[in-house]
Structure 1
Amino acid sequence: MARFEIVFQGQVQPGTPEDQARARIGQLFQVAGEQLDMLFSGRRIVIKQGLDEAAAAKYRTAIERAGALCSIELMEPAEAVPASALAPAAEPAPTPITSGKAAGKLVPRDEYMAAFADVEAPDFDIAPLGADLQDDYEAPAPLPIDLSALSLAPVGSDMGELKRDLPEVVPNTDHLKLQDD
């Protein structure tokens, strides 16, 4: 079965103000700030991949209704991708700006990311709900510091600096005169 991906390059429909389209797309994909700027940067961004033709058409309709333009492109067949990974999700992902994986290799989303195409990264799974992600905690070993020479001051003691009895210095002002103009 053919699979499609939704590609967005920050183009708005003719006659639609860009700020209005940006606001609607941000609301549609629940993004703002830098993520919204990245969507409208003009670079090729895959919004969603692994869709059948009907689901891809629904995405296109929603994006066009928001005032933007996108394209539906046929994905290259990937033999090693399990069928569960290609099944469309019930709702769009909250962070749509991702690059996909096909056959265990990173598929670059643009020329910048193409530099990382040959990086071998582990395929991590998502931990189940409520799982403890922290490694086992080991208490640190106490440091060998001798504190026997230190003592505590009694309650209510003045812990401030001792006041020194310094003689008062009065500056010599004999050479100063007041003059009326």
Structure 2
Amino acid sequence: MSRYEIVFSGQTLPGAEPEAVKANLAKLFQADAQRIALLFSGRRLVLKNNLDAAAAEKYRSALERAGARVEVVDMEAPIEEIELAPPPSAEAPAAARAPGRLQVAPRDEYMAAFADVDAPDFGLAPVGADLQEERGEVSAPPVDLGQFSLAPVGSDMGQAEAAAAAPAPDTSHLKLVE
């Protein structure tokens, strides 16, 4: 006989208001706001487990009437078997390897899947070796500046003339009274 569990991930049914669903679940579970907030944290929570089919359906319908989307999961569902890659052969013959290519022995079954990857063998430089190629002396490009000259100090370099100051306003009609 199969056993089931009720799983909730914080999702509501389409068209259900989240605040109304929270209030319905608080009344259904007789829980405070803090516990209801934990239900809506987005984590996958098992609300009830070890139920028969009739009881699981009863819980599912009650929670969906409250507006919560739940899953009924078979606890005895078969576990999927994963087939591992076969271990690599002892050593590939030297003729099978191209010159300058790297041959890597896998460290475990997971890495055995990458045994046939063709990677270049870059090798390692000795300690203290300079890894950049030497560059020749860089010379300045030939630029002819003979057409340019410097103006003498204080000379006019073609700046725009400053606008003349406006005349002072006439204040002769103003008087100070004591």
TM-score, with structure 1 as normaliser: 0.41
Structure with greater Cα Rg: 2
